[in-house]
Structure 1
Amino acid sequence: MWPVFWTVVRTYAPYVTFPVAFVVGAVGYHLEWFIRGKDPQPMEEEKSISERREDRKLDELLGKDHTQVVSLKDKLEFAPKAVLNRNRPEKN
């Protein structure tokens, strides 16, 4: 008898599990809204990461004096040496 029962359960499992899952989901959904309350407060939209980054960059730019820049000669001193020149002796 048990093999016949398990064969029937295996064959008709989708027809049994879908209504059960539907009922459990509907009960859980309504129970959650009952616990939370009927009138949810509208959420304020959050800024995306890219919008927050742009705002942060704009704030940084506002605090800088754009007339004071580093000369190109000073920048070249800190430039990394070329990879091919690493093993060559330095000229003094």
Structure 2
Amino acid sequence: MWPVLWTVVRTYAPYVTFPVAFVVGAVGYHLEWFIRGKDPQPVEEEKSISERREDRKLDELLGKDHTQVLSLKDKLEFAPKSVLNRNRPEKN
């Protein structure tokens, strides 16, 4: 008799456990909602890090004069001296 009972339980387990799990979940959801009370007012979402970075970069760009650019000779000063200035005479 026991093997037949275990076979029936194993065969119909999904049909029994799903409704039980659904009822337990629904009761838990409503119990939690009852304990918490009213929903809090939605908080305004703050800007993400990438949005704040974009805003900061735009603010920096607004304050610059884009017609004034460095010449190519001035840009060489930012390169490491050990590579590009090896054969150039020192500036006075």
TM, length-normalised to structure 2: 0.62
Percent identity of paired positions between Structure 1 and Structure 2: 96
Specify which structure has the bigger relative contact order, considering alpha-carbon pairs within 8 angstroms and separated by 6 or more residues: 2
Tell me, which stretches of 5 or more residues in structure 2 are unaligned?
Answer: none
**Once superposed, what is the RMSD of the aligned Cα atoms?**
5.0
Partner residue in 2 for 1:44: 44
Return 47-56 or 21-30, whichever deviates more. Answer: 47-56
Alpha-carbon distance in 2 for matches of 1:6, 1:41: 51
For the structure 1 residues 56 and 4, does the alpha-carbon distance in structure 2 shift closer, same or farther, using more than 3 Å as the test? Answer: farther
Partner residue in 1 for 2:88: 88
Please give the per-residue CA displacement for 1:48-88, whole angstroms capped at 9, x wherever unaligned.
44422321212333455656643321223445799999999
Q: CA deviation at 1:11?
A: 0.8
Alpha-carbon distance in 1 for matches of 2:20, 2:77: 73
For the structure 1 residues 75 and 83, does the alpha-carbon distance in structure 2 shift closer, same or farther, using more than 3 Å as the test? Answer: closer
After TM superposition, the structure 1 = structure 2 runs for residues 1-92 of structure 1, keeping only pairs within 5 Å, are 1-62=1-62, 64=64, 66=66, 69-79=69-79
For the structure 1 residues 83 and 16, does the alpha-carbon distance in structure 2 shift closer, same or farther, using more than 3 Å as the test? Answer: farther
For the structure 1 residues 31 and 87, does the alpha-carbon distance in structure 2 shift closer, same or farther, using more than 3 Å as the test? Answer: farther
Return 70-79 or 18-27, whichever deviates more. Answer: 70-79
Alpha-carbon distance in 1 for matches of 2:59, 2:13: 60
TM, length-normalised to structure 1: 0.62
Q: CA deviation at 1:16?
A: 1.0
Alpha-carbon distance in 2 for matches of 1:77, 1:50: 31
Return 62-71 or 31-40, whichever deviates more. Answer: 62-71
Tell me, which stretches of 5 or more residues in structure 1 are unaligned?
Answer: none
Query: What number of residue pairs does the alignment pair up?
Result: 92
